[in-house]
């Protein structure tokens, strides 16, 4: 006869074993098994990760790429350069608070900025659809020029292609950015440590919500504008205030703040605890998200970043951030812990805790 | 947000958590099932279960309308979507549910014209705008969504829209509950009744649960305070030895339900003799199809669909997980043949299903038990 105590521990041993197997499976590099590309592969969640880790990294894997930063760092005779590239396929082309051209500059500038690189130059590649009104093109070219001037980058190279009607939504814009790594920056997605604080540079969810409403599919009206802007002034201020204590920064675009937190929790093998109450959300965004049944933490931003900073430098960093125009609402939203590694937990405003997982797919139309 | 934040008040939540703690006997383990997927969603979103004592366990019920659709019907939908000239419309969360050979999302990538809609009326609008195409609406859900499908079908008839049809996979809530309650190995102490379904069907259909099976029920709303209050009501019934259906969601749910919605449903639908549920098998009189009067709008009659039943693998133990007989990880295929990436049973399909939640968050849940 087995005594109940030993039976209980045998059961929990089995449970431990199963949890261990799952953990190993989850920790493994994702495989790509799908037969065709579907919309989820572009949504920035688990499917995108599977595509990157299962197809791109094995084919192109290099030191810089394996870091999985927003920009790759290349060293040429002692000079550290950051390079990044992005395609913009947003619909509609113009939306409250911005347009595809402005987005194409700021998005690439921001990928350089959060990598700790001062943006220097951009290349611009346009894919235009047959029949695009010239005025619309002109307006976007002006938007690109204005955004580049505001961000202090030069457009130094370009290319134009025209495709047949029906092959592009008006226009697609691709930009590649070159930046010079700032000597004050020692940033890496693997550098985040337990005890670090998590800062957010402002209120979230505005870009994604503005785009969804601009499409007119929901018959909802709200005054929400895209937050598209260059993050370099904010990064510059942070590097001044907390240079070596800054661990990592990432702009919370597609997939939102939740995706950034999950990516960094995974790459640094740490846990994150976020206080929902402290996350700034514009009331109109909160209202739209409530009606549409989406969580603003997963909604795209185009001018907001998540900053991981050592605890002792967090107050200085936050003060510096709030002094930057557009970042007045910056907030400390949580902290980094040891257990359970790779997971993001939320302390809900209601008083409970839950796991904030990576986005599994994308129920929403593409937004950036 | 006014009229919303009031139902999410953290201080009131703590007060209810204290009340719940005072109602439980320390040595006893309580298992309460929230029947509705909407409740499961709220419980996760607000971390409601985190406020409960360790000996009060919430069991996630069969009320997620997309997860219960069996593989064979997803296959039928995909076959329909691939037919020449068809625009296939469905709710967004249905797109990811796997059939035996991929999901609707994958069928869309393979070239089928599949469009996400937010309401059946959107599908009807697409039909109006595309008179040369056949528009099929994949109608799913419990009594909550069935009335809007019924109204849409009636409108299609009234407006003479002939290129619209409906693949009806609506289900009803009482038969699966009865099936669960019928099993001799059931280990549940009470039920949080489905608030949205009850706005349509009312409170009366749940009275058999206390009357025939001796389990208390509290019909509840979807805000975190609603759910905590319903749990307190159930525990109070258990503590006082009462057993009845209580209505926590009186601000929305009338005792008789919505009689007009029920009339429209009765006109447009009829019960199928039996309907298959993913992970639960065939349940008698649990599914709806279009009635004879509306048979011309039935996509399954208008088009030929394979209608092949794809058996759930025998090892799938969703039924036992739902009854609270076994924990997710005790299922034979858990984490091996059945994973969130390649789910077999209903409990693994939705991220809120009991098995998927355990797969994704098990380590967190275990940490919580220790604390």
**Is B118 in Cβ contact with A218 (below 8 Å)?**
yes
Write the CA distances from A109 to A253, A312, B125, integer angstroms.
13, 29, 42
pLDDT at B369 over 60: no
- Chain A residues whose beta carbon lies within 8 Å of the beta carbon of residue B359: 22
Contacts of B23 by beta carbon, 8 Å cutoff, 6+ apart: B232, B235, B236, B238, B239
Q: Which residue has the higher pLDDT, A31 or B22?
A: B22
What was the pLDDT predicted at A364? 47
* Of the candidates B87, B207, B93, B208, the residue with the CA atom closest to the CA atom of residue B145: B93
Range of the domain at A34: 30-61
Task: Note whether residue B35 is domain-resident.
Answer: yes
pLDDT at B368 over 70: no
Same domain, A227 and A157: no
β-strand pairing of B134-141 with B164-170: parallel
| pLDDT tier, B68 (very low <50, low <70, confident <90, very high otherwise) | confident
- Chain A residues whose beta carbon lies within 8 Å of the beta carbon of residue B50: 351-354
User: Which stretch of A332-336, B123-127, B215-219, B365-369 has the lowest confidence by average pLDDT?
Assistant: B365-369
Structure tokens at A119: 């943006």
Task: Note whether residue B265 is domain-resident.
Answer: yes
Contacts of B167 by beta carbon, 8 Å cutoff, 6+ apart: B76, B77, B80, B136, B137, B138, B139, B299, B300, B305
Write the CA distances from A73 to A111, A250, A260, A308, integer angstroms.
12, 15, 20, 20
Q: Does B235 touch chain A (CB under 8 A)?
A: no
Same domain, B154 and B275: yes
Q: Which residue has the higher pLDDT, A9 or B345?
A: B345
Secondary element (H or E) of residue B102: none
Same domain, A82 and A139: yes
DSSP state letter for B171: B
Contacts of B169 by beta carbon, 8 Å cutoff, 6+ apart: B69, B73, B138, B139, B140, B287
> What are the contacts of A213-220 at 24+ separation with CB within 8 A?
A213/A96, A213/A288, A214/A92, A214/A95, A214/A96, A215/A91, A215/A92, A215/A365, A217/A365, A217/B118, A218/A291, A218/A292, A218/B118, A220/A288, A220/A291, A220/A292
Contacts of A172 by beta carbon, 8 Å cutoff, 6+ apart: A87, A88, A89, A126, A127
Same domain, B100 and B121: yes
Domain termination residue (choose one: A121, A151, A181): A181
* Of the candidates B167, B173, B178, the residue with the CA atom closest to the CA atom of residue B193: B173
The string of pLDDT tens digits covering residues A214-231 is 987 777 778 899 999 999
CA distance B272 to chain A (A): 31
Residues A242 and A310: their CA atoms lie apart, in Å, by 9
Task: Note whether residue B142 is domain-resident.
Answer: yes
CA angle A346, A348, A349 (to 5 degrees): 145
| Residue that has been written with the tokens 């003060």 in this structure | A319
Query: In percent, how much of chain A has pLDDT > 90?
Result: 64
CATH of the domain at A259: 3.90.650.10
Write the CA distances from B30 to B23, B26, B318, integer angstroms.
11, 10, 20
Residues B274 and B171: their CA atoms lie apart, in Å, by 10
How many CB atoms within 10 Å of residue A163? 13
The string of pLDDT tens digits covering residues B193-250 is 999 999 999 999 999 999 999 999 999 999 999 999 999 999 999 999 999 999 999 9
Task: Note whether residue B311 is domain-resident.
Answer: no
| pLDDT tier, A10 (very low <50, low <70, confident <90, very high otherwise) | very low
Same domain, A85 and A47: no
Q: Which residue has the higher pLDDT, A30 or A152?
A: A152
Range of the domain at B85: 71-173+257-302
Same domain, B280 and B340: no
**Is B335 in Cβ contact with A21 (below 8 Å)?**
yes
Same domain, A76 and A213: no
CB B321 within 8 A of CB B347: yes
What was the pLDDT predicted at A320? 97
The model carries a pTM of 0.84
Same domain, A38 and A139: no
Same domain, A205 and A344: yes
Nearest chain A Cα to B10, which residue?
A: A350
| pLDDT tier, B189 (very low <50, low <70, confident <90, very high otherwise) | very high
**Is B364 in Cβ contact with A355 (below 8 Å)?**
yes
**Is B105 in Cβ contact with A38 (below 8 Å)?**
yes
What was the pLDDT predicted at B2? 73
pLDDT at B273 over 50: yes
End-to-end CA distance of chain A: 64
CA distance B210 to chain A (A): 31
Query: In percent, how much of chain A has pLDDT > 70?
Result: 93
pLDDT at B11 over 50: yes
The string of pLDDT tens digits covering residues A274-320 is 999 999 999 999 998 888 878 899 999 999 999 999 999 999 999 99
Task: Note whether residue B275 is domain-resident.
Answer: yes
Q: How many domains does chain A have?
A: 3
Same domain, B355 and B218: no
The string of pLDDT tens digits covering residues A232-286 is 999 999 999 998 999 999 999 988 999 999 999 989 999 999 999 999 999 999 9
Same domain, B224 and B291: no
Same domain, B83 and B53: no
Contacts of B358 by beta carbon, 8 Å cutoff, 6+ apart: B327, B328, B329, B334, B365
**Is A36 in Cβ contact with B105 (below 8 Å)?**
no
pLDDT at A356 over 90: no
- List, in sequence order, every residue forming a beta bridge with A76; answer none if it has no partner: A79
Residues B243 and B211: their CA atoms lie apart, in Å, by 8
Contacts of B314 by beta carbon, 8 Å cutoff, 6+ apart: none
The string of pLDDT tens digits covering residues A85-141 is 999 999 899 999 999 999 999 999 999 999 999 999 999 999 999 999 999 999 999
pLDDT at A12 over 80: no
Radius of gyration of chain B (CA): 21
- Provide the 3-class DSSP secondary structure of residue A70: coil
Same domain, A264 and A331: yes
Residues B355 and B337: their CA atoms lie apart, in Å, by 13
Same domain, B84 and B127: yes
Nearest chain A Cα to B52, which residue?
A: A352
Same domain, B107 and B44: no
**Is A343 in Cβ contact with B362 (below 8 Å)?**
no
**Is B96 in Cβ contact with A352 (below 8 Å)?**
no
**Is B49 in Cβ contact with A22 (below 8 Å)?**
no
CATH of the domain at A158: 3.30.1330.10
Pick from B329, B337, B342, B358 the residue to mutate for testing the A interface (most A CBs within 10 Å).
Answer: B329
In terms of residues, how long is chain A?
368
Pick from A290, A348, A358 the residue to mutate for testing the B interface (most B CBs within 10 Å).
Answer: A348
CA distance B193 to chain A (A): 22
**Is A36 in Cβ contact with B109 (below 8 Å)?**
yes
CA distance A234 to chain B (A): 31
The string of pLDDT tens digits covering residues B23-67 is 999 999 999 999 888 888 888 888 898 899 989 988 888 777 887
Task: Note whether residue A363 is domain-resident.
Answer: no
Structure tokens at B255: 């005792």
Q: How many domains does chain B have?
A: 3
What was the pLDDT predicted at A5? 40
Task: Note whether residue A100 is domain-resident.
Answer: yes
Contacts of A138 by beta carbon, 8 Å cutoff, 6+ apart: none
What was the pLDDT predicted at B239? 96
Task: Note whether residue A188 is domain-resident.
Answer: no
Nearest CB partner across the interface for A340, out of B4, B340, B367: B367
**Is B334 in Cβ contact with A351 (below 8 Å)?**
no
The string of pLDDT tens digits covering residues B285-314 is 999 999 999 999 999 999 988 888 887 777
CATH of the domain at B44: 3.40.50.11750
User: Which stretch of A12-21, A212-221, B120-129, B177-186 has the lowest confidence by average pLDDT?
Assistant: A12-21
Same domain, B263 and B329: no
* Of the candidates B293, B268, B250, B292, the residue with the CA atom closest to the CA atom of residue B147: B268
For range A150-168, the mean pLDDT: 95
Nearest CB partner across the interface for A350, out of B46, B334, B339: B46
Task: Note whether residue B361 is domain-resident.
Answer: yes
- List, in sequence order, every residue forming a beta bridge with B136; answer none if it has no partner: B88, B165
Same domain, B130 and B221: no
CA distance B333 to chain A (A): 11
Same domain, B83 and B115: yes
Number of inter-chain CB pairs under 8 A, A vs B: 102
Q: Does B54 touch chain A (CB under 8 A)?
A: no
Q: Does B7 touch chain A (CB under 8 A)?
A: no
The string of pLDDT tens digits covering residues A100-110 is 999 999 999 99
Contacts of B137 by beta carbon, 8 Å cutoff, 6+ apart: B89, B90, B117, B120, B123, B124, B149, B152, B164, B165, B166, B167, B299
| Residue that has been written with the tokens 């929305």 in this structure | B252
- List, in sequence order, every residue forming a beta bridge with A88; answer none if it has no partner: A173
Mean pLDDT of chain A: 88
Q: Does B351 touch chain A (CB under 8 A)?
A: yes
Nearest CB partner across the interface for A22, out of B13, B327, B359: B359
Task: Note whether residue A3 is domain-resident.
Answer: no
Task: Note whether residue B191 is domain-resident.
Answer: yes
Pick from A33, A42, A284, A351 the residue to mutate for testing the B interface (most B CBs within 10 Å).
Answer: A351
Task: Note whether residue A208 is domain-resident.
Answer: yes
Residue B302, φ and ψ in degrees, nearest 5: -70, -35
**Is B47 in Cβ contact with A353 (below 8 Å)?**
yes
DSSP state letter for A235: H
Same domain, A111 and A46: no
pLDDT at A162 over 80: yes
Q: Which residue has the higher pLDDT, B321 or A54?
A: A54
Same domain, A166 and A249: no
* Of the candidates B77, B68, B48, B20, the residue with the CA atom closest to the CA atom of residue B318: B68
* Of the candidates B355, B361, B240, the residue with the CA atom closest to the CA atom of residue A356: B361
For range B114-129, the mean pLDDT: 93
Same domain, B124 and B219: no
Residues A16 and B329: their CA atoms lie apart, in Å, by 10
Packed helices A232-242 and A100-113: angle between N→C axes, nearest 10 degrees: 20
Q: Environment class of residue A208 by beta-carbon count within 10 Å: exposed (0-12), middle (13-18) or buried (19+)?
A: buried
Same domain, A98 and A154: yes
For range B242-259, the mean pLDDT: 95
What was the pLDDT predicted at B364? 63
**Alpha helices (H) in chain A, listed in sequence order:** 4-27, 46-51, 57-60, 63-66, 100-113, 134-151, 206-214, 232-242, 256-267, 283-292, 314-322
CB B269 within 8 A of CB B288: yes
Nearest chain B Cα to A346, which residue?
A: B47
Task: Note whether residue A88 is domain-resident.
Answer: yes
Same domain, A203 and A350: yes
Positive or negative, the CA dihedral A185, A188, A192, A198 is positive
Secondary element (H or E) of residue B150: helix B146-158
Task: Note whether residue B113 is domain-resident.
Answer: yes
Q: Which residues of chain A are at the B interface, by a Cβ-Cβ cutoff of 8 Å?
A: 14-15, 18-19, 21-23, 25, 34-40, 217-218, 283, 286-287, 290, 295, 339-340, 343, 345-355, 357, 360-361, 363
**Is B110 in Cβ contact with A361 (below 8 Å)?**
no
| pLDDT tier, B365 (very low <50, low <70, confident <90, very high otherwise) | low
CB B187 within 8 A of CB B319: no
CB B355 within 8 A of CB B321: yes
Query: In percent, how much of chain B has pLDDT > 90?
Result: 59
Q: Does B368 touch chain A (CB under 8 A)?
A: yes
What was the pLDDT predicted at B339? 82
What was the pLDDT predicted at A2? 40
Same domain, A162 and A202: no
Mean pLDDT of chain B: 89
* Of the candidates A242, A270, A237, A264, the residue with the CA atom closest to the CA atom of residue A251: A264
Domain termination residue (choose one: B272, B302, B332): B302
């Amino acid at each position: 006869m087995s005594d109940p105590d030993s039976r209980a521990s045998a059961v929990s041993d089995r449970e431990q074993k199963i949890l261990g197997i799952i953990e190993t499976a989850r920790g493994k590099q994702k495989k790509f098994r799908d037969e065709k590309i579907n919309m989820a592969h572009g949504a920035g969640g688990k499917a995108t990760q599977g595509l990157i880790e299962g197809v791109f990294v094995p084919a192109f894997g290099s030191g810089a790429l394996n870091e999985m930063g927003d920009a790759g760092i290349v060293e040429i005779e002692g000079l550290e350069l950051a390079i990044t590239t992005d395609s913009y396929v947003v619909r509609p082309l113009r939306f409250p608070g911005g347009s595809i051209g402005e987005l194409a500059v700021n998005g690439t500038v921001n990928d350089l900025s959060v990598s700790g690189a001062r943006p220097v130059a951009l290349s611009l590649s346009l894919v235009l659809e047959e029949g695009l009104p010239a005025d619309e093109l002109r307006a976007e070219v002006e938007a690109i020029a204005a955004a580049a001037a505001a961000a202090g980058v030069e457009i130094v190279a370009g290319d134009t292609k025209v495709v047949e009607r029906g092959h592009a939504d008006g226009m697609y814009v691709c930009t590649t950015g070159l930046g010079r790594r700032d000597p004050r920056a020692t940033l890496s997605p693997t550098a985040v440590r337990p005890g670090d604080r998590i800062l957010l540079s402002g209120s979230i969810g505005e870009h994604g919500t503005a785009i969804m409403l601009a499409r007119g599919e929901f018959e909802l009206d709200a005054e929400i504008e895209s937050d598209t802007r260059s993050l370099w002034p904010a990064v510059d201020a942070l590097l001044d205030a907390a240079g070596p204590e800054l661990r990592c920064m990432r702009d919370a675009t597609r997939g939102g703040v939740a995706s950034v937190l999950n990516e960094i929790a995974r790459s640094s093998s740490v846990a994150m605890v976020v206080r929902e109450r402290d996350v700034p959300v514009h009331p109109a965004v909160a209202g739209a998200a409530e009606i549409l049944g989406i969580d603003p933490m997963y909604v795209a931003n185009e001018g907001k970043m998540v900053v991981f900073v050592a605890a002792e430098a967090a107050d200085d960093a936050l003060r510096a951030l709030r002094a930057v125009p557009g970042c007045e609402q910056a907030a400390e939203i949580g902290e980094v812990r040891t257990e359970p590694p790779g997971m993001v937990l939320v302390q809900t405003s209601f008083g409970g805790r839950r796991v904030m997982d990576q986005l599994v797919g994308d129920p929403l139309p593409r937004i950036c | 947000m006014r009229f919303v934040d009031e139902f999410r008040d953290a201080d009131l939540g703590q007060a209810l958590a204290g009340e719940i703690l005072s109602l439980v006997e320390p040595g006893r383990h309580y298992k309460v099932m929230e029947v509705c997927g909407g409740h499961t969603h709220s419980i996760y979103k607000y971390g409601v279960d985190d406020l409960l004592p360790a000996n009060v366990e919430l069991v996630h019920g069969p009320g997620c309308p997309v997860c219960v659709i069996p593989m064979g019907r997803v296959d039928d939908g995909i076959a329909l979507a691939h037919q020449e000239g068809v625009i296939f419309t469905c709710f967004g969360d249905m797109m990811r549910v796997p059939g035996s050979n991929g999901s609707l999302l994958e069928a869309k990538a393979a070239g089928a014209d599949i469009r996400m809609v937010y309401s059946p009326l959107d599908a009807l609008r697409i039909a109006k705008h595309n008179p040369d195409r056949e528009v099929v609406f994949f109608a799913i859900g419990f009594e909550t969504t069935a009335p809007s499908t019924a109204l849409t079908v009636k409108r299609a008839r009234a407006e003479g829209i002939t290129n619209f049809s409906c693949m009806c996979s609506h289900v009803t809530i009482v038969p699966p509950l009865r099936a669960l309650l019928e099993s001799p190995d059931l280990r549940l102490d009470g039920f949080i009744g489905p608030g949205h379904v009850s706005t349509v069907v009312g409170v009366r259909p749940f009275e058999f649960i206390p009357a025939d099976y001796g389990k208390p029920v509290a019909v509840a709303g979807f805000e975190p305070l609603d759910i905590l209050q319903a749990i307190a009501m159930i525990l109070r019934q258990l503590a006082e030895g009462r057993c009845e259906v209580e209505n926590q969601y009186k601000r929305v749910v009338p005792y008789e339900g919505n009689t007009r919605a029920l009339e429209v449903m009765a006109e447009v639908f009829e019960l199928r003799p039996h309907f298959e549920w993913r992970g639960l098998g065939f349940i008698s009189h649990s599914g709806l199809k279009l009635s004879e009067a509306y048979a011309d709008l039935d996509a399954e009659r208008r088009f030929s669909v394979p209608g092949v039943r794809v058996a759930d693998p025998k090892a799938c133990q969703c039924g036992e997980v739902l009854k609270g007989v076994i924990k997710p990880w005790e299922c034979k295929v858990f984490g091996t043949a059945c994973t969130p990436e390649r789910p077999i049973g209903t409990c693994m399909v939705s991220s809120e299903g009991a098995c998927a939640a355990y797969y994704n968050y098990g380590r967190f849940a275990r940490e919580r038990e220790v604390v």
